[in-house]
Amino acid sequence: MSDENVEPEGPDLTRGVALSTLSEGAMLLGRVGNEPAILVRHRGELFAIGSACTHYGGPLAEGLLVEDTVRCPWHHACFSLRTGEALRAPALNPVACWRVEQRDGSAFVGEKLTSPVRRPAAAPAMPGSVVIVGGGAAGNAAAEMLRREGYAGRLTLLSADESTPYDRPNLSKNYLAGTAPEEWIPLRSPEFYRQHDIDLKLGVRVGAIDTASRRVETVGGERHAYDALLLATGAEPVRLALPGGDLPHVHYLRTLADSRALAARARASKQAVVIGASFIGLEVAASLRARNVGVHVVGREPRPMEKILGAEVGDFVRKLHEQHGVIFHLGTTPTGIDARSVALASGENIPADLVVIGVGVRPAVALAERAGLAVDRGVTVDEYLQTSVPGIFAAGDIARWPDRLTGERIRVEHWVVAQRQGQTAARNILGRRERFDAVPFFWTEQYDFGLAYVGHAERFDMPEIDGRLDARECTIVFRRGGRKLAVAVVHRDLEGLKAEVELERAIAERAASPQAA
């Protein structure tokens, strides 16, 4: 989403930069021709790569150097300084990478380097065919990674969705608010899948897996043989069995089609009731306010988002929404919906010509269950994301994996985690035996407020806040029994990246001495 017509800032890096002005660990923002670039000095070496993250254009010059990589301050993508490759999602494309020469005490950025082509994986590890079920974050990232890693066999991506894989997080944010055009939403063009020989089949639901003959069967009766299978079926919104819950003005939000339908309805609506006061509900509330629709939020909890972020953030978020005109009805539940209103257990009756229900999701595990895979509040996977059946992997919202930081099995519903799991599963399908050890990351945006969260704390003691939430500049630490489990940051992107590295080190230490877990 970067604006390519804007003249890049900073010096022309091809003309030379005096090394005396470039300290160790510095990232100098400049340009190479018309392309924005950063010149980096790291442990005696010089690197030059594109400065705009290929996810949403985040400023890499404000990110964090970790070994020979740079991490994006916005959603923690990671790029190689040596090749420009996008090593970690959510970025899927590389940034440009240039050769740098040292002459006469200066660094000169020279010609652009081409990305190295990976050789196909070694033959014994190479499955003849891979089938991926689910064309969301995890499934798409896995398909792309298989090809990036040089996998040359048959690759089929089966998705129940009618749309090519898309940017799901945007569906409750800018796209729903009407500030992101439809062109921004697909992750790739249909041409991309053809070029990479990924047989993407849309509107196709897999109904059964025959683990003995290694075949999946679609609801329409098509069969696809596999040597390796990845399940990435995601999650489905929890449906409320309410009188009036199936009226046409009652919406759920998971797919692009859902978001389109909701946006269309919002254009003709005056007053909405959003049922659910967690992330989806509140992001929807903010997007509807951007469309000038009046919004009431109904939630069972006493404070919005308290369970995940604590009471103080909950109070702040409530106030933020109230400043934008949202009216809360907390500690209560809906009892019925009719064409003009929503009735609450508290006795209130709120007028509404639009109702959005966002009360959580359930992992879509029915397919795995029917196939006899181990399922326990998610599909059980090992540290390599392999299920209880060899050759079948699971990733994303459905996967419950052993988390080394907490020593517990966890399942999370985060975009970046799903993509990174898809990428790890792809490499393990090719025989890499790569542990999934990434620190979970998610973000939320509501109006002009953004929060990023690293780690995972299902239960925590009183959160510690450094800085001021009301000034929108703070770090919130979540511990349990003294152990740091997660950190949230508001306008402190670099702190968020440093916290991620610290949690990664804690995981590595635990791996080195398992008795500490």
Binding region for ligand FES (CB under 6 A): 53, 55-58, 72, 74-77, 90-91
Query: For ligand FAD, which is the closer residue by CB, 127 or 136?
Result: 136
Neighbours of 258 (CB within 10 A): 17
Residue 414's binding partner, choosing from ligand FES, ligand FAD, none, with beta-carbon cut-off 5 to 8 A by kind? ligand FAD
> CB 488 → ligand FES: shortest distance, Å?
17
Strand partners, 69: 66, 80
Tally: H helices and E strands in the chain: 10, 36
Quote the CA–CA distance of 22 and 40 in Å, as a whole number: 8
Neighbours of 342 (CB within 10 A): 25
> CB 94 → ligand FES: shortest distance, Å?
13
Quote the CA–CA distance of 254 and 169 in Å, as a whole number: 9
> CB 6 → ligand FES: shortest distance, Å?
16
Quote the CA–CA distance of 405 and 301 in Å, as a whole number: 28
Spatial neighbors of 232 by CB under 8 A, at least 6 apart, are: 132, 133, 134, 136, 137, 138, 139, 142, 394, 395, 396, 398, 418, 422
Query: For ligand FES, which is the closer residue by CB, 16 or 450?
Result: 450
Q: Which residue has the tokens 């993509």?
A: 419
Residue 276's binding partner, choosing from ligand FAD, ligand FES, none, with beta-carbon cut-off 5 to 8 A by kind? none
> CB 422 → ligand FAD: shortest distance, Å?
7
Residue 77's binding partner, choosing from ligand FES, ligand FAD, none, with beta-carbon cut-off 5 to 8 A by kind? ligand FES
Give residue number: closest CB to ligand FAD. 136
* Residues in contact with ligand FAD by the rule CB under 6 A: 133-139, 158-161, 168-169, 171-172, 205-206, 232-235, 253-254, 280, 364, 367, 396-397, 413-416, 418, 442-444
Residue 188's binding partner, choosing from ligand FES, ligand FAD, none, with beta-carbon cut-off 5 to 8 A by kind? none
Q: Which of 340, 361, 457 is nearest to 405 (CA)?
A: 457
> CB 416 → ligand FES: shortest distance, Å?
8
Query: For ligand FAD, which is the closer residue by CB, 39 or 417?
Result: 417
Quote the CA–CA distance of 198 and 135 in Å, as a whole number: 12
Six token digits for residue 42: 């790291």
> CB 375 → ligand FAD: shortest distance, Å?
14
Residue 206's binding partner, choosing from ligand FAD, ligand FES, none, with beta-carbon cut-off 5 to 8 A by kind? ligand FAD
Query: For ligand FAD, which is the closer residue by CB, 47 or 393?
Result: 393
Residue 452's binding partner, choosing from ligand FES, ligand FAD, none, with beta-carbon cut-off 5 to 8 A by kind? none
DSSP 456-502: --SS-SSPEEEEETTTTEEEEEEEETTEEEEEEEES-HHHHHHHHHH
Residue 401's binding partner, choosing from ligand FES, ligand FAD, none, with beta-carbon cut-off 5 to 8 A by kind? none
Query: For ligand FAD, which is the closer residue by CB, 139 or 334?
Result: 139
278-314: b (≥16 Cβ within 10 Å) or e: bbbbbbbbbbbbbbebbbbbbbeeebbbbebbbebbb
Query: For ligand FAD, which is the closer residue by CB, 54 or 233?
Result: 233
Query: For ligand FES, which is the closer residue by CB, 93 or 332?
Result: 93
Strand pairing category for 379-380 and 399-402? parallel
Quote the CA–CA distance of 436 and 454 in Å, as a whole number: 16
Query: For ligand FES, which is the closer residue by CB, 35 or 464?
Result: 35
The CA–CA distances, whole Å, from 163 to 167, 189, 256 equal 11, 11, 7
> CB 357 → ligand FAD: shortest distance, Å?
12
Quote the CA–CA distance of 513 and 516 in Å, as a whole number: 6
Six token digits for residue 309: 């972020």
Six token digits for residue 334: 């809906």
Query: For ligand FAD, which is the closer residue by CB, 140 or 269?
Result: 140
Residue 112's binding partner, choosing from ligand FAD, ligand FES, none, with beta-carbon cut-off 5 to 8 A by kind? none
Spatial neighbors of 172 by CB under 8 A, at least 6 apart, are: 253, 259, 279, 280, 283, 284, 287
Quote the CA–CA distance of 273 and 354 in Å, as a whole number: 6
Query: For ligand FAD, which is the closer residue by CB, 386 or 444?
Result: 444
> CB 283 → ligand FAD: shortest distance, Å?
7
Query: For ligand FES, which is the closer residue by CB, 75 or 224?
Result: 75
Q: Which of 6, 80, 75 is nearest to 36 (CA)?
A: 6
Residue 431's binding partner, choosing from ligand FES, ligand FAD, none, with beta-carbon cut-off 5 to 8 A by kind? none
> CB 301 → ligand FAD: shortest distance, Å?
19
Residue 253's binding partner, choosing from ligand FAD, ligand FES, none, with beta-carbon cut-off 5 to 8 A by kind? ligand FAD
> CB 491 → ligand FES: shortest distance, Å?
15
Residue 75's binding partner, choosing from ligand FES, ligand FAD, none, with beta-carbon cut-off 5 to 8 A by kind? ligand FES
